[in-house]
A = this chain, B = another copy of it.
Amino acid sequence: MDAIARIDTALQRALERHSAADAPPRLAAAARHAVFPGGARIRPQLTLAVAAACGDDQPALTDAAAAAIELLHCASLVHDDLPCFDNAGLRRGQPSVHAAFGERLAVLTGDALIVLAFQLIAEAAGQAVTRLPAVIGTVARGVGMPYGIVSGQAWECETQVPLREYQRSKTGALFVAATMVGAEAAGADAGPWRALGDCLGEAYQVADDIRDVVFDTAALGKPIGRDVALGRPSAAREWGLANSVKRFMALLDRAVESIPQCRGRAQFQALVRSEGERLVPSAMCTRLLLQAA
């Protein structure tokens, strides 16, 4: 089974196991809508890849950790799309959860997915129960206070926004959690995997800022120019487009180099390169740099 199939299977089973015929049907439908069809599933793919590099001796726990990371990512998107935040009617090319199911179910869906994330991990502990505190702690730090996604979104509610702290919380924290938890689910030391998450998270955020300026709605599956329209901090605006492209390329190089010596390192590096190519194609990087020169 390839990585995305493995992740989608874990997500599907989780949603099915926590649905019931005598429970409110629209909540279950909204939760499904929030999770399927998925985006690139890059964060849980990282979790699986790191776990594999570390031996992946408890695949059920790895699956749960990867699914949890993706559920938390989806929850943050659902809440971030709400009218009081981005008021985004489109997500992954389909109506956002609140557009399809209403605002109340969108709030509840985000809540339900957060709970489900932690529940999945606890259920999957099996013989590896001693790994739970590390796994749950890492995932929680990626999303909660003071430096997780929630804090990243909360920076948008402050008048003074430090760009680096904002981006590190809003995007970086869950990438760091995604890589580190892969190691912890496999019983390995998570420290060596922090840099990969850090660099990729920042690369992803810078890429998002570039794409927000350059791409059109059809290609992104969501409205563009939102950062500017919403007055959000944006690397592309603060540093200029060319500098952002240079920074993106440097971050990707650092991410590739940061991968520790492990089984399948070359494949892992290729995965990171191909994800970079998906985010901002190298041909586009070159073109943008030439335009600016």
Contacts and interface: CB of A to CB of B under 8 A. Distances in A.
A144 B158 contact: no
Given A129-B129, A144-B18, A111 B150 contact: yes
A121 to B, nearest CB: 8
Contacts of A84: 102-104, 107
Q: What range describes how many residues of A lie at the interface?
A: 35 or more
Nearest to A98: B84
B157 A24 contact: yes
A22 B157 CA distance: 15
A46 to B, nearest CB: 20
A122 B122 CA distance: 10
Interface string A147-160: 11011011111100
A36 interface: no
A119 B104 contact: no
A112 to B, nearest CB: 5
Interface stretch (A130-138, A199-207, A213-221): A130-138
A112 B112 CA distance: 13
A28 interface: yes
A203 to B, nearest CB: 22
Given A115-B145, A119-B141, A129-B132, 8 more contacts: A18-B146, A23-B147, A24-B157, A26-B157, A79-B111, A111-B114, A111-B150, A122-B133
Most buried by B among A28, A123, A153: A153
A69 to B, nearest CB: 13
Given A27-B151, A132-B129, A140 B157 contact: no
A67 interface: no
Given A107-B82, A133-B132, A144 B119 contact: yes
Given A133-B132, A148-B115, A158 B25 contact: yes
Nearest to A148: B115
Interface in A233-249: none
Interface string A140-184: 110111111011011111100010010001000000000000000
A77 interface: no
A82 B105 CA distance: 12
A118 interface: yes
A244 to B, nearest CB: 24
Contact of A145 (B23, B107, B136): B23
A79 B129 CA distance: 32
Contacts of A23: 145-147, 151, 165, 169
B19 A102 contact: no
A116 interface: yes
A159 to B, nearest CB: 10
B115 A150 contact: yes
Given A114-B114, A157-B104, A150 B27 contact: yes
